[in-house]
Structure 1
């Protein structure tokens, strides 16, 4: 059984510099391919989207493209769609189908790399034939500037990019910050991508009880997981103290050391920084297929205050809630 103290003892390993070899699809998506993505026959546009994504992922540069004898497609493909429609499945499938040097990471990890190492080193770590970036979202001026800089350098190196988002390109940044001051940057970011809409329904919602009750692994009477080498039982406050010391790009290592996690005494968030650290952790627990139980006096839908859910990070909180439904089922 791992306690908060035992997890803290792992920090030296968790905090080692990022390694390009780690930037691969996580366990949940390690075996996702185009062939095992089940399109909904009732939604024909879904099959059209998959065909376009597959063609982009499998594309190989030809001699005439190197010689610039004709214009080529945009260097990026942008997959937009609602929660739980399979965009990340298609992103991982693209990674598996592509040729050459490939990297896979989240948008938050990409921004964290630029913050930690600078644009030059981050570009050197990521540059290749294809970079897959999950959950693209312009939440504030800082990450807008940083991702604009990183995209510039990656594309200049000849790297192609596929990204997923819950926001259509034309609405990036809207409602999150003073968009008028950054309209040129946002437009430049959007222009690098061809947009492909992935329609569908949130598959995770099927796990909710018909009466809307919380999943069985969430509530006041939840029992912690039993002993195990990769099982942790941690108070929410102690876990947050640990998360405050771990860069987002290193969280995958923490999740990789767990198979089951019980979080105790989780209360509704009042601090935005604490809430976002929790969101980043849930993303990595979800990616890593870590089983989760949460003892909380609050209903899952009350975890993030309504005021937070109407501001800059609203879609992050909505995605987190959707993923918690599956993790705690």
Structure 2
């Protein structure tokens, strides 16, 4: 299977600089040779063939698979933008970019449905199916907060690498700090070993949060959701219900894809990534009102809010938020605090998308 290389990530980056879409960042510039090298390696001719009951990607010249990339650093450093440039530059269709939370949900679903031949390990069977669809797998927001997920993912990644799949990922955490301080972390170490063996960590910690440099910081304090709903839709809100997966939640207002919810309906109830994905498929704009103080033992609600914002961000869905407090006053304590600050950065960008409506 021959490949023709497209424009390199470094060339895309230079074009965006020339067009004034980016400002040069030292960490991003230092990462570009690694991105170019990976794209060049992935552009060599490959063949997909069966080996011991599973499908495996191999280079026609017998070369070893390249190491993938693990782009890590604080919020707004351009990690997703750089990974997207790799995704856009590789000259084949067998590639996939997916947010990490929905992928974990998908993995559990695949495990439930899997019916491999008795001679094939179930995780190799799943990895083989994934490999036929994607020889490049790009994860957004790689983060482990449950040891069971970490152990499961370790088995899958090991199987994917056996099938010749290359991994790229973005994360707020450097590999050694993943699940640091978590319960029974020793059980997580095999996954850490696999990651270090098969991906190249690239640190983007030193730069600026470019999301907050794109314009004035949006305020969530005060404001009237009802008045904004009327301004945006020229209609009064009509409460109703919306089916999200197996759940039915209350909607304060819905008009032409603009949905207005209270925070309690979206984030206090036990919804998950799969439910939020359904919302992203339906919504053109999302309004969330009555966001409470998240500092008081509401880690589960804060975690759901982070997942929701991540998926809205990936879908570029404009967002409006309403609270009696500002983001900095809402921030929960404990392990979810870092993830919440990342979500806040993304919220500021999504709220600016809404300003022209």
TM-score range, shorter chain: 0.7 to 0.9
Q: Which residue of 2 is the match for residue 316 of structure 1?
A: 339
Match of 2:287 in 1: 262
For 2:169 and 2:288, locate their aligned partners in 1 and report how far apart those are by CA, in whole Å. Answer: 31
2: CA distance between counterparts of 1:37 and 1:162?
Answer: 22
Per the alignment, residue 43 of structure 2 pairs with: 60
Question: Is the 1:103–1:130 contact (alpha carbons within 8 Å) kept by the matching residues of 2?
Answer: yes
Offset at 1:88?
0.5
**How far is 1:300 from its partner?**
1.0
> What corresponds to 1:325 in structure 2?
348
Is 1:166–2:206 an aligned residue pair?
Answer: no
C-alpha spacing 1:66/1:93, structure 2 compared with 1 (3 Å): closer
Matches within 5 A, 1:81-100: 81-100=73-92
Please identify which structure carries the higher strand content: 2
Measured at CA, do residues 146 and 123 of structure 1 come closer, stay the same or move farther in structure 2, by a change above 3 Å? farther
Residue segments in structure 1 that go unaligned for 5+ positions in a row: 1-32
- 1:21 is aligned to none
Q: CA RMSD in A?
A: 2.8
Q: Structure 2 vs 1, CA of residues 250 and 150 (structure 1 numbering), >3 Å: closer, same or farther? A: farther
Distance between the aligned counterparts of 2:63 and 2:223, measured in 1?
64
Per mean C-alpha deviation after superposition, the further-off stretch among 81-90 and 220-229 is 220-229
**2:309 alignment partner in structure 1:** 282
Task: Tell me, in whole angstroms, the C-alpha distance in 2 between the residues paired with 1:36 and 1:285.
Answer: 27
* Distance (Å, rounded) in 2 between the aligned partners of 1:90 and 1:136: 15
Gap regions ≥5 residues in structure 2: 1-11, 48-57, 112-122, 234-254, 353-357
Distance 1:251 1:168, change over 3 A: same
In structure 1, what is the Cα distance between the partners aligned to 2:25 and 2:320?
35
Q: List aligned pairs for 1:213-252, cutoff 5 A.
A: 215-216=218-219, 218-223=220-225, 224-225=228-229, 226-227=232-233, 228-240=255-267, 244-245=270-271, 247-249=272-274, 251-252=276-277
Give me the whole-angstrom Cα distance separating, in 2, the residues matched to 1:305 and 1:236. Answer: 15
Structure number with greater Rg is 2
Is residue 2:73 matched to residue 1:47? no
| Paired position in structure 2 for 1:30 | none
Counterpart Cα distance in 1 of 2:328 and 2:342: 12
Provide Cα deviations, 1:30-69, integer angstroms capped at 9, x if missing partner: xxx54555465462x4323123213313423447964775
Q: Which has the higher contact order (CA 8 A, sep 6+)?
A: 1
CA–CA separation in structure 2 for the residues paired with 1:163 and 1:235? 33
What is the TM-score of this pair, normalised by structure 2?
0.70
Residue correspondence of structure 1 range 67-82 to structure 2 within 5 A: 71-74=64-67, 76-82=68-74
Note if contact 1:222-1:293 (Cα within 8 Å) is conserved in structure 2: no
Q: Which residue of 2 aligns with 1:295?
A: 322
Secondary structure of 2:212's aligned partner: helix
Name which of 116, 120, 124 aligns with 2:129: 124
In structure 2, what is the Cα distance between the partners aligned to 1:152 and 1:164? 19
Cα 1:71–1:287 change in 2 (3 A) is closer
